[in-house]
Amino acid sequence: MVLLFQVLFSSILFVLEFAIDVLAYAPLDWFFDWRDFPEPRTLWLASLLWFAGGCVLAWLSVLLLTHTFLAIPALRIANLALAPIASAFLSQALARRRKKSNAAIVPRNHFWQSFWFTLGLVTVRFAFAVRS
């Protein structure tokens, strides 16, 4: 019974941490929805800046919340691998929807910006957040 409770509790914490990581970029994505000029074609500098922004946000979150929700190493690795991908696809889907009303939006750019931002976020939290 105790093992079942631990598995259930760990699963809930994984979903919580995963959702926070995936949704961290969404407010930033909506903030830049107002643009009416075309997005840049090259993304390497923007991706680097989004990665740095994710690292800074993660560093601030580690200062405020030193412990991670996930104590099981396998779940932390799964979060490290899956959160950037899920965040990127979510951002791309939202951008495709908003492209109908704003032709200047390029969903591919939103995919990569979200991917790099979330990768920076989860990498720093993976490296520096303390397991409970």
Query: Across residues 76-92, what is the average pLDDT?
Result: 93
The pLDDT of residue 53 is above 90:
yes
Kindly indicate the confidence band of residue 34, based on its pLDDT and cuts at 50, 70 and 90.
low
Query: Across residues 109-128, what is the average pLDDT?
Result: 94
Q: Which of 96, 113, 122 is nearest to 49 (CA)?
A: 113
The pLDDT of residue 71 is above 80:
yes
Note the pLDDT of residue 124. Answer: 96
What predicted TM-score, i.e. pTM, was given to this entire model?
Answer: 0.82
For residue 111, which amino acid is it?
F
Note the pLDDT of residue 37. Answer: 63
Please write down the HEC assignment for all residues of 63-112: HHCCECCCCCHHHHHHHHHHHHHHHHHHHHHHHHHHHCCCCCCCHHHHHH
How many angstroms separate the CA atoms of 74 and 86, rounded? Answer: 18
